[in-house]
Amino acid sequence: MAQALLSVQIIPKTPNGEDVIPYVDRAIEVIKASGVNYRVGPLETTMEGEFDELLGILKRMNEAMFEMGCPSVMSQVKLLVGGPNASMERLLEKYPDGK
């Protein structure tokens, strides 16, 4: 399938109203374990890879939230599939350090 970028903000409903940070950290661990190129931002994390692979990682991230006891999870996703711009390096050429 095509090269893609997938940005995700995962917002789990925690079992007892706890802070979401440990849950978000677990979701990022899922991304890290996948081996894809990724970049954590303040409000979302962007992954780069094959379209189907990224969708699978997104699914595993949500499954990890349920395994931690979350009754529901909202995932806000942005997706770019194919074309020369489906590359973090290319899109960040002008602003590699975010400034």
Give whole-number Cα distances, 5 to 16, 61, 88, 90, 95, in Å: 33, 16, 7, 11, 17
> In sequence order, what are the residues at sequence separation of 6 or more whose Cβ sits closer than 8 angstroms to the Cβ of residue 24?
10, 12
Q: Six-digit token pair at 6?
A: 């997938």
Distance CA 46, CA 73 (A): 18
Q: How many degrees, rounded to 5, is the angle at CA 95 between CA 92 and CA 99?
A: 140
Predicted local distance difference test score (pLDDT) of residue 40:
96
Predicted local distance difference test score (pLDDT) of residue 84:
83
The tens digit of pLDDT for each residue in 41-54 reads 999 999 999 999 99
Find residue 13's DSSP bridge partners: 72
Dihedrals φ, ψ of 26, to 5°? -65, -40
The tens digit of pLDDT for each residue in 20-74 reads 999 999 999 999 999 999 999 999 999 999 999 999 999 999 999 999 999 999 9
